[in-house]
Structure 1
């Protein structure tokens, strides 16, 4: 731990915990949160770059070249809890998620969610998977094969849909998104995975199976509702909508949501 971090912890009377996959602060965070609110207001007024992040699927397509005045993260935050907590604590100012139907509802009092793109989720496998060339698959055909699953409760609605089909059976321990922990798991020739046109274009190592999951995903901007009318946020909205138009024009099954 650096001297600067130790000094900050002492100032705010906090401690760091390494008990989980992310460092967590212990103690009363009120003073720290107040400072973060001040820093966010400074960023919104152009005194420092604003901060955006996205999923591994959204980021490369929609934020590879962010608008002026914005910095972006590494597009590797997994799940929903961590990015939403960073938004809630005003550490980041905007996030583009890919997790329909598990993103907050449109009328959520805390979050403003703006849909950008929508596309079907595909069941994927290695090209040499035993089911790769089989047509008219049935649910029972999946039982002999492991299928990737993220930690229970991360995406409850998505998890429920896939479990009903005999999928979501092989848990993956993941702290940051890494292709080898997700798409790369199909390289064993038996593990089933999930994806969509945007992820397939980034990791073209799988094939689609002849099965309709009945599951829709999509890219959406998520910000705190109390920030939705800020000019800097609306500038980001315009940029994302322009990028979304380009992406939708590239893929036949990606629908523009404007």
Structure 2
């Protein structure tokens, strides 16, 4: 079995994207991160390639995935913190002062593909994923547990012309520039926007950047999208328009079935539900759906 800290370095590079961040999170020097990564890659006969700003493994990863299962068991036994990834807004609103025993990722990956792969490969142990764009189906050993539901609405900067209207429909929005989303990254949102004629494809991006997303709406250039969680986190830099998209948002925890009854997972679920219930008291549009 490969030592915990050696595979930890490779997992960290895949998870965080940079040796500098791995060094910070795991308190080891960057040269040691590089050395451990090389040792792990050599052991499993793999190599790394940089694609769209993310590190990808090349080669047969079957043995590495089996080793990942063993290391996940070690984290579950308390030798290391379990690993949680989240969306940008769920991390900001729900994951501050995270429950003990968990480490939170950067929470800035765009779309669902990257985080789902990290979960399948057991690089991360749990994913707080945003609705509606959960994968249509997940592999048999993954379980999805919905925690919250909330509307998605259009947003704009203060002073935007559309704020003068008390009522809006999609035809009123259509003449204005829409915030672009990368094609294929949010399939259900993309399908919904295409259905109402408001889809605007953007360039593919791997990580969330405010200047590429909220910043484009906050600057007064575009109509954007928001939820009660994201709007609250903007601190007044965005305003809600009186028109919802024809879909709901929300959050689900996706976890490997063999961690489903783990005390730390149950503790995480209780922690997140407590945060959601507190927010729901302030905003009735946020619905707790966990049973």
Question: How does the TM-score come out when normalised to structure 2?
Answer: 0.82
* CA deviation vs aligned residue, 1:151-189 (integer Å, no higher than 9, x gap): 222222221111222222141442211222111011342
The answer to whether the 8 A contact 1:53-1:94 is kept is: yes
The CA deviation at 1:60 is 2.0
The CA deviation at 1:97 is 1.4
Aligned to 2:167: 136
The CA deviation at 1:223 is 0.8
The CA deviation at 1:81 is 0.7
Greater length-normalized contact order (CA 8 Å, ≥ 6 residues apart): 1
Aligned to 2:209: 178
Aligned to 1:87: 119
The CA deviation at 1:200 is 0.8
Q: Which shifted more, 144-153 or 215-224? A: 144-153
Query: Which one of the candidate residues 165, 172, 186 is aligned to 2:196?
Result: 165
Q: Whole-Å Cα distance in 2 between the matches of residues 197 and 120 of structure 1?
A: 8
The answer to whether the 8 A contact 2:52-2:206 is kept is: no
Q: Whole-Å Cα distance in 1 between the matches of residues 168 and 264 of structure 2?
A: 48
Q: Structure 1: which 5+ runs fail to align? A: none
* CA deviation vs aligned residue, 1:201-223 (integer Å, no higher than 9, x gap): 11131111222322210011111
The answer to whether the 8 A contact 2:87-2:109 is kept is: yes
Query: Which one of the candidate residues 164, 177, 180 is aligned to 1:146?
Result: 177
Equivalent positions of 1:69-88 (< 5 A) are 69-88=101-120
Aligned to 2:148: 117
Aligned to 2:255: 223
Q: Greater share of helix residues, 1 or 2?
A: 2
Query: Which one of the candidate residues 228, 250, 257 is aligned to 2:282?
Result: 250
Query: Which one of the candidate residues 196, 204, 210 is aligned to 2:227?
Result: 196
2:52 maps to 1:20:
yes
Query: 3-state SS of the aligned residue for 1:148?
Result: coil
Output the aligned Cα RMSD.
Answer: 2.0
The answer to whether the 8 A contact 1:146-1:170 is kept is: no
Query: 3-state SS of the aligned residue for 2:177?
Result: coil
The CA deviation at 1:20 is 2.7
Aligned to 1:127: 158
Query: 3-state SS of the aligned residue for 2:168?
Result: coil
Q: Whole-Å Cα distance in 1 between the matches of residues 179 and 165 of structure 2?
A: 20
2:57 maps to 1:32:
no
The CA deviation at 1:61 is 2.2
The CA deviation at 1:49 is 0.9
Query: 3-state SS of the aligned residue for 1:213?
Result: strand
Query: 3-state SS of the aligned residue for 2:151?
Result: strand
The CA deviation at 1:194 is 0.3
The CA deviation at 1:149 is 3.1
* CA deviation vs aligned residue, 1:116-173 (integer Å, no higher than 9, x gap): 1111001011122221212332323233322123222222222111122222214144
The CA deviation at 1:85 is 0.8
2:243 maps to 1:211:
yes
Question: How does the TM-score come out when normalised to structure 1?
Answer: 0.91
Query: 3-state SS of the aligned residue for 1:121?
Result: strand
The CA deviation at 1:113 is 1.4
